[in-house]
Amino acid sequence: MLGENYVLLPSGVLAFGKGIQEQDIDERVKRWHDNIANIAFFLILAGSQTAEIDGISAAGSTPISRRYTAVADAELLLRGPMHPKRWPLPPLPAGVSPALISYVASRFLKIKPTIISSGLLQSPTFTHVCLESSKIGPARCLSSGNAMDISRVNLLRDAGFKIGKKLKKSLLITECVPGGTTTAFAVLSGLGINVNGLISGSHRNPPSELKIKLVNQGLKAAKLKKNPSSIELMAAVGDPFQPIALGLLMGARESGLDILLGGGCQMLAVLALALNEMEQESRSEFVETIVIGTTSWLVEESLSSSEKKRNSFIHLMNNVAKHFKVNILGLASGYRFNDSNQKVLRDYEIGYVKEGVGAGALSLLAQINGLTQREMIKKCDTEVGNLFKSKDEKTN
């Protein structure tokens, strides 16, 4: 049985989660290994005005650049670093877009995403699914306590559910939502879960005080009743990604599918919103085929100097599990970039970026399917070189 920290699997993947038996881990990892050619891979792009708060996110160095982070990352994942870009990657304080890691892993796995777009200020130039009018635009800032209309949340959730219910393949959900860890913070707090000091983000040192201030402001303005529904919470302080992912998850789970939630705090928030919508006696069975998939950088991050709060994300996941009285399994890719020739990749080792665009989930799938540490670094180094080369050619 796993304790508070993680265990290293033979593949190099890290496993974590209280109450999980090692035999259960082996069985679930084997299923993802065996079904790699039978995966429905979704990338959800969404926009929220929360991302435009100065200093809230490093997924783009400025509030204006964060408006097109999602389409730029999706374009990189779909087309690769060498392809001429309609949307240039926004400048980052350090590191490189996690979409580059996702591109390398997904090419190795030979899988491509279905893109779902909601609340963006741009209309993507690549094939995508739009579940609502593109004119609606981003969610309002969560500090308003009125991020989205209830009708919008219901529409997105129901549309996601219909897609999930029709699937016949194992489901991988990934996301790109600037400001998304802050809306995740808000809905988890609204559910009554202790998340202070445990929510990460794209910054090397996440702006915890700013997030707490915005979340408190939003929850106070929302004037929610005690024990609000997930729909009410998302409408008050959420973003469009959450109801889409919630619907996908619940629809796919109703069809009995294996589900990999690719990400960190945002995926935990979606899982918590799903568990909040069901009776206690149904929850343990619901999580039996669900895995959180993330990166080792996120898992090994400690946001507090307290020894008791090392591995902040694992503590966060365990708090969600304890709140709903379930056991949740987390898996993290074991890849590291210490030996990379590219500084922007080594930046991951000192706390920049950490996760996004399914980098952790896709990497761990690549790892359990035989992509070695050395091969991963070599491929990522090459693609960073290609990315810089394509930028130089465009400049010249």
| Whole-model pTM over 0.85 | yes
Pairwise CA distance, residues 349 & 119, whole Å: 32
Could you tell me where the DSSP H helices lie in the chain?
A: 22-34, 69-79, 98-109, 150-166, 180-190, 208-222, 230-237, 241-254, 265-276, 280-287, 296-299, 312-324, 343-346, 359-368, 373-395
pLDDT band at 203, cuts 50/70/90?
Answer: low
pLDDT band at 4, cuts 50/70/90?
Answer: low
pLDDT band at 1, cuts 50/70/90?
Answer: very low
Q: Are 240 and 139 in contact (CB under 8 A)?
A: yes
pLDDT tens digits, one per residue of 237-267: 999 999 999 999 999 999 999 999 999 999 9
DSSP 346: H
DSSP string, 134-162: TTS-SBPPGGGS--S-HHHHHHHHHHHHH
pLDDT tens digits, one per residue of 70-114: 999 999 999 999 888 888 887 778 889 999 999 999 999 999 999
Nearest Cα neighbor of 37 from 169, 166, 191, 213 is 169
pLDDT tens digits, one per residue of 322-377: 999 999 999 999 999 999 999 999 999 998 899 999 999 999 999 999 999 999 99
Assign 3-state DSSP to the chain and report helix, strand, coil percentages, each to 5.
50, 10, 40
pLDDT tens digits, one per residue of 23-78: 889 999 999 999 999 999 999 999 999 988 887 776 766 777 788 889 999 999 99
What letter represents residue 133's amino acid? S
DSSP 332: E
Q: Which two tokens stand for residue 152?
A: 């919008």
pLDDT at residue 393, rounded to an integer: 53
Domains and CATH numbers, the chain: 6-389 (3.40.50.10210)
- Maximum average pLDDT range among 14-23, 27-36, 118-127, 151-160: 151-160
Pairing label, strands 170-176, 259-262: parallel
| Ramachandran angles phi, psi of 275, nearest 5° | -65, -30
Pairwise CA distance, residues 3 & 311, whole Å: 12
